[in-house]
Amino acid sequence: MGRFSNGLELVKLSFKVIGKNKKLLVFPFLSGFTAMIILATFLVGFIFASDVMLGIPSWAWVIIGFSLYIILFFITIFFNAALVACAMATIEGGNPTIGYGISMASKKLGKIFVWAVISAIVGMILQAVRERAGILGKIAVGLLGAAWTVATYFVIPIIVFEDVGAWASVKRSYQLLKNSWGEGLVSYLAMGLIFGLLAFTGLIFIFLIVGLFHSLWAILFGLVAFVIYLVFLAALSATAKGVIQAALYRYATTGKIDLQMPSWFPPPPAAYVPAPPPQL
């Protein structure tokens, strides 16, 4: 019950942190926008130099595809690290800016890149095995991938806050996971339930609008509104998961769950002590 209640408190903490520092919602958009820029650049280059690119041998395409895969992993991990840094600073009572998070992540560029390469290699190996395996093999690979994701859950906050290499962070992450697996499971399931209900509620609302008006404009409006709602919900979910990651790391290393008061908050007044009566 202690792990269950602590997990729910961590979920509450994540929403309190987002409410306190709404700038955290920017990081998922920055990550997605940067990834789209990279993909669009590659696509435009392929369109305008298709004659040259079609002559590239297959082994070179493998290298190009793998490099693009690493870049996309790097972008995701970089902005997630920036989000975790800002979330931790907010939990500790600060009011960090977007620049602060990017600065903190930039200090760990080398480790983030190494972790992006490791993540890309593991992902490609699991995908290759999954494509060639039977039903039981696919299940086994899925379980192995889930175990890898769980075991490396704390790698990003470890890279940001500790002087540990990218590969050594995996072992450190597993050690921390043993201290907080119950709280992590409860918070993960609670977050999934919350955002699942929010998505379902939005879908029902759009169906009601379309059902009430029965027109093409209502359908178009409903589709556009639902897409915008899903984009915002995805950003909120990604932000909440980043905050939970920081909060769980803090809990696993210090045992703290509470949200600290802002550092600029004035201290409580000292107890009033009446002055001694004058001497006659």
Q: What is the pLDDT along the chain (280 residues), one digit of tens a residue?
A: 577 777 788 888 888 899 989 999 999 999 999 989 888 888 777 776 666 666 677 777 778 778 888 999 999 999 999 999 999 999 888 889 999 999 999 999 999 999 999 998 998 888 888 878 778 778 888 888 888 888 888 999 999 998 888 888 888 888 888 777 777 778 888 888 888 888 888 888 777 777 776 777 777 877 888 888 888 999 999 999 999 999 889 888 887 776 654 444 334 344 333 344 444 4
Residue 271 belongs to a domain:
no
Residue 207 belongs to a domain:
yes
State which residues form the domain around 247. Answer: 2-254
What integer pLDDT is reported at residue 266 of this predicted model?
39
Total-model pTM: 0.81
Residue 163 belongs to a domain:
yes
CA distance 223 to 137: 39
Residue 269 belongs to a domain:
no
Which two three-digit tokens encode residue 177?
A: 């996971």
CA distance 224 to 234: 15
What integer pLDDT is reported at residue 260 of this predicted model?
59
With beta carbons less than 8 A apart as the criterion, state whether 245 and 154 touch.
Answer: yes
Domain count, the chain: 1
Q: C-alpha angle 125/130/136, rounded to 5°?
A: 135
Residue 53 belongs to a domain:
yes
The helix/strand/coil state of 264 is coil
Burial of 271 (0-12, 13-18, 19+ CB in 10 A): exposed
Residue 272 belongs to a domain:
no
Burial of 194 (0-12, 13-18, 19+ CB in 10 A): middle
Buried b (16+ CB within 10 A) or exposed e, 94-111: bebeeebbbebbeebeeb
With beta carbons less than 8 A apart as the criterion, state whether 75 and 31 touch.
Answer: yes
Estimate to the nearest angstrom the gap between the alpha carbon of 250 and the chain centroid.
Answer: 16
What integer pLDDT is reported at residue 118 of this predicted model?
92
Residue 148 belongs to a domain:
yes
Residue 270 belongs to a domain:
no
